Structure 1
Amino acid sequence: MKLYSIKARASLNGKHISGAERIVPEERVFETIRWIEKKVEKKNFDSLNIKVELIKEKPILIEKSLPIVDIKFKNHEDANLKAVKILHRITGIPTERIKELIALIHTGASPEKKNMRGAMIVNLTGKRVEKDRFRGVRTTDVDFLDREKVIKKLLEKGFTERTADALALTTKNMHHPDIIAEYCISDEPDYLTGYISTKEKYYRFTPLKEFGNKNGGRIYFIKNSTDIDELYRFLEEKPVLIKDVE
């Protein structure tokens, strides 16, 4: 069966507005393009790029996504304190350093104090090791084998379609042997749910950011011995399909 990667990006004045990434069989390519067009048609954009490529490499198949642990907090401060505790337990990085790294995501982690285009990478000494502090690294080429079935299950559990996107991405991340944890908040000012992932669980925290904050991003926590070039290749180039949700 031929599989295709479909990536879409809508922008306004060079700023990212909306995007989508899918892996689909050949017969669903044009249906998926129409789905993307519908998704962005109400957005205010001046550029829309849709890229379709044949996947030549055999995808990694993952049986199930990370199990979801959904927790509501009184405020984002409490949620972030819990996040710091989880990340400290998993990584051993001092709590003050973890707080500093999280603060960067909330205030702009690039050298110009804006959002990075991809994720920050931090090793277990607490040092940032991404190749480019503007670009970071982006996890791409991941999807559910039967996305509609997965979304139906998630909706029945009270989650959203958006949860499927985040869950697929972080499940790919945690499949890499050298990534041991992740922290993520959206850059949308009114989307306050974020997550922390470990090898065992996907912790969905609400709220993990303050309403109105336009900053966001991800931190990937990795082993000190990680081959950075290989990590980039896996995250940005290796196709991954997930069969089902936990």
Structure 2
Amino acid sequence: MIYSVRMRAAQGAAHEDGGRHISGAERLVSRDQIGALTQSMVERAFSHSRGQTDFINITVEAVATENIRRLELLPMTTVAAADVSAGRAAAKAALAAAGVKSPAADAGMERLLALKDSMRGAMLICGVTGQRLDGTDGRGIRVSRMDIDDQNRFAAWLEKRGFTGIHIREAVVLATKVAAASGVIAELCWSDDPEYTAGYVASASGYMRFPQLKPYGVMQGGRLFFIRPETNITELMHYLETQPVLVVTPEEAE
């Protein structure tokens, strides 16, 4: 049996009661890994650079192995840019190449820039008009129940290609699940960690990392999923929130 272990940490109150989002984490693990994992999640919540948490929720839920979907990790590249402005321009170009229309990319970027704080979930944005479609206000859609199939192999694969740090390890797993969703054109994200300036654009064709998508010290961050106008929102949300996914590291012979 595999277990979904999910952590959410907030400041001031629980998220549902208006608490400020501090940290979150997702893993799919065996029973004997749960104890050590939950301890590390608690330590992570208490040491996050976004601030001191006073609410931590950890959920452990059994997942039937026959329900797990396996996906191959997205190809990964880094796109250098001179500064944040250039990084955002390059990200918009990547969205356009994936099929997001220019008005939608502009509107989506403006929504991220207008955030007063981070969102713990994602906004669903029409990839043609830029209209927000999820109706969840400040909560957003939380992508859940995903992990890499082999942590050690994944870490070695990333290190060999110059990708290090927990942010990118978690982001590319999430992006791989999202890119496989029916109706999703592309994703745009930058972190709410004030010490982490990178972000990415991801689609079925790959994960493009941009080292500078926000200024250092900024706590506002979030993610957008650009979707096709005809997408069934209910089915998409069900997949993102409940479908268990294990991401498989590509073979080395590439």
Q: Find the aligned partners of 2:29 and 2:185 in 1 and give their Cα distance.
A: 29
Q: Distance in 2 between matches of 1:37 and 1:135?
A: 22
Match of 1:104 among 108, 111, 114: 111
Secondary structure at the counterpart of residue 200 of structure 2: strand
Q: How does 1:1-246 map to 2 (within 5 A)?
A: 2-13=1-12, 14-43=19-48, 44-56=52-64, 58-62=67-71, 64-93=72-101, 95-108=102-115, 113-126=116-129, 127-159=131-163, 160-245=165-250
Q: Take 1:45 and 1:135, find their aligned partners in 2: how far apart are those partners?
A: 18
Q: Which runs of 5+ in 1 are unaligned?
A: none
Instruction: Assess if the C-alpha contact under 8 Å between 2:122 and 2:224 holds in 1.
Output: yes
In the TM superposition, residue 41 of structure 1 has moved relative to its aligned partner by 4.3
Secondary structure, counterpart of 1:72 in structure 2: coil
Q: Which string of whole-angstrom CA distances, capped at 9 and with x for unpartnered residues, describes residues 37-86 of structure 1?
A: 34334342212221111114611011x21011112211010011111112
Counterpart-to-counterpart distance in 2, 1:198 and 1:224:
17
What's the secondary structure of 1:101's corresponding residue?
helix
Q: In 2 relative to 1, CA 54–213 (structure 1 residues): closer, same or farther, beyond 3 Å? A: same
**Given that residues 154 and 161 in structure 1 are in contact (C-alpha distance below 8 angstroms), is that contact kept between their aligned partners in structure 2?**
no
Pairwise CA RMSD: 1.8
Distance in 2 between residues matched to 1:38 and 1:212, nearest whole Å? 22
Structure 1 position 125, deviation (Å): 2.5
Question: Conserved in 2, the CA contact under 8 Å of 1:192 and 1:207?
Answer: yes
Deviation at 1:11, TM superposition (A): 2.0
- The CA deviation at 1:158 is 2.2
The runs of at least 4 consecutive aligned structure 1 residues that moved more than 4 Å come to none
Query: What percentage of residue pairs aligned between the two structures are identical?
Result: 31
Supply the distance in 2 between the matched residues of 1:154 and 1:97 (Cα, whole angstroms). Answer: 32
